[in-house]
Structure 1
């Protein structure tokens, strides 16, 4: 950042605490990282209640959600009514990222923000723009289809299987809730594409060839950037995922050395002069050994807790930077350190063992490398204790019964009820 103030630059002065908007396991891990340094943390969310159960959260508030037209007014009123002015505002979900990045100037009287303004950030958040930017920078992407109409989509020769993804995460459409839908043939593709196009708009549906292979070929770059450069970075591998064939979420992640991911990520993030947390997903295509870009998440990600376990406490670092201090230097990440989402990893491991792709001994040995858990922490036990019933309830209501999450419309300062 130069001496002149520009959108995305934080005003000077000490930070009073951190307000996190939405999110799930990544938000919980970030709150624990900050809370361990006695940083006041407030949660504003209509997402999973697990982060709000943490003893590291000082207070939690319900709100109308990032898509509500009064969302910015709510956040400004919250800061004024609860003495949160000057807090660092960190979005924990995709919709929250868009809201904050698009509204930096409106939020700046009350909050500090570590995100690029939307005219920069959209080039990595909106998938058509992301894939265009990646192509310009010689970063490999999966073969991607663009259609001018549903009729063109039904006539075009497609190499199946393919996946359908929303232009950007967030929202309550069928495709947004699923994150990714797989289609193995024309009979499966046409009705799914037509429904998605009708629900969120043709231009917002991304269709890509499915890269073969499971989570063992999926890698991530995770980092904290400041002033257009990485402060700390490492790469990890999604060794197991849930569901097994096409993961909705990671279940077992370990730190590995993947220099090609680092090289590609630096190109993309430098092109927007990134600021803040980020995770970038890649998959190695076994057909030609290309490492192909899948997605970018400029927010805390599900296995965020792996960072501090591997020796890179990104939560502590972002707090130091927000307060104008140089973050403590850290050594290289500890290769082999692992993170596990125990509840769902047990399901994934059972499927892999039944298919002969994972030995029982290898599964049991993988516990020896786990240094971070999705919900469990000895000094903060409640989220871990309630993870099973909360997860079961969310699966039942959102994936079996297909109920949309409730969006609160309470006044600033009213507590979020337990769900």
Structure 2
């Protein structure tokens, strides 16, 4: 009864804890000591980072395969780790339950432009998109538009030393890998400054193209769906070769930054029936396998829902799902191991009755950091507590039976507060 969880931030921690509490032997694989690797429910194993060494990562998995008495389930929690497994799915399947979709599907989902074309051809409601070298084709009817990095994984076309791989790892990975050339550094700076940039007019878009003309091919431009992060809705699934067996629905209550940021508070919440039907249809079209997140955004002016992206792996607040009666990590493990036979399960708890919070980050955001750009999101301590109070509260950093991750999270938030305070002082002195 073994599972290997890759890339063990809070996403991985919640999966580790859920499986460990059910008696599964969990190994936390990462290229550095992340919060999930400190859990009492996991054994930490340092491994190559597939962002910069996909071949080494796969070789590592094959080398350790004989250590396990059973056939472990692989559960990646990050795009480029999922892509590495998908690219070697057949080879790894001799020793593991791979737990991811096939390479064609994963590569499609992580390429924003290619996925947009695929979805448009099948009449799924996605924003229109154009690559950075196609900006002359953007019609006036598309504005406002948003520019963002196109490739989220860093391992396209099996190029282990690709520029994009290095860029993504420096921006969102562990910072390891070779040094950049001057050209690569220019792309790093451009992408780090523009994870999402919104343009109301063509003149604004043209200024962006001129400023980043040397790296513009790394961006995709999409129609912008108006609204803040609280208009983001998640339909999370576990599917077995296209058949959805478990489904969770929820809404992001707060992200940081508040317009486009990662989820800091999320809650169980129903979505329109047509979105659930769409997710099931799309999973079947893709032959989707494993845990996945279908992320929608509701336009605040029209009320229309758009499919923003599909993440071919677990997502940051998957830790909410066990409390809603649909434990996607457990389903993903048990179904692939044939431990249990599952009938279709769907979360059906009352809206807002279950809340997930990354409290060590959301509290300082609400008390202080939102003031910088969106002061209307600032809250007093009492207002903050009222905003997360619910029948069931899942706190990402706190578990009575697993204290070391709490200590790790405390160090992280302390480091952040010190760094942010110093940055603020330097800004005032400048």
TM-score bin (small chain):
0.7 to 0.9
Task: Structure 2: state its 5+ residue gaps.
Answer: 155-164, 168-187, 424-430
Does structure 1 conserve the Cα–Cα contact (< 8 Å) formed by 2:5 and 2:12? yes
Does structure 1 conserve the Cα–Cα contact (< 8 Å) formed by 2:144 and 2:223? yes
Q: How many residues align?
A: 376
Q: Aligned-pair distance for 1:279?
A: 0.8
Looking at structure 2, the residues matched to 136 and 156 of structure 1 have their Cα atoms a distance apart, in angstroms, of 19
- Cα distance per residue 1:165-187 (max 9 Å; x no partner): 32233444236667823144347
1:6-405 aligned within 5 A: 16-46=1-31, 49-68=34-53, 69-80=55-66, 82-83=67-68, 86-148=71-133, 159-160=143-144, 162-170=146-154, 171-173=165-167, 174=188, 180-184=195-199, 185-186=204-205, 189-190=208-209, 193-194=212-213, 196-197=215-216, 202=217, 204-247=218-261, 249-259=262-272, 260-327=274-341, 332-335=347-350, 336=352, 337-350=354-367, 355-357=375-377, 360=380, 362-369=383-390, 371-391=393-413, 393=415
Normalized per residue, the structure richer in helix is 2
CA separation of 1:77 and 1:357: change in aligned 2, threshold 3 A? closer
Does structure 2 conserve the Cα–Cα contact (< 8 Å) formed by 1:23 and 1:47? no
Give secondary structure in 1 for the equivalent of 2:65: helix
Bigger relative contact order, structure 1 or 2 (CA pairs below 8 A, ≥6 apart): 1
Looking at structure 1, the residues matched to 406 and 100 of structure 2 have their Cα atoms a distance apart, in angstroms, of 30
Runs of 4+ in 1 over 4 A off after TM superposition: 152-158, 175-179, 327-331, 351-354, 357-362, 391-397
Give secondary structure in 2 for the equivalent of 1:70: helix
Give secondary structure in 2 for the equivalent of 1:292: strand
- Cα distance per residue 1:330-371 (max 9 Å; x no partner): 574323211001122124323568734566454321232252
CA RMSD across the alignment: 3.1
Task: Structure 1: state its 5+ residue gaps.
Answer: 1-15, 402-419
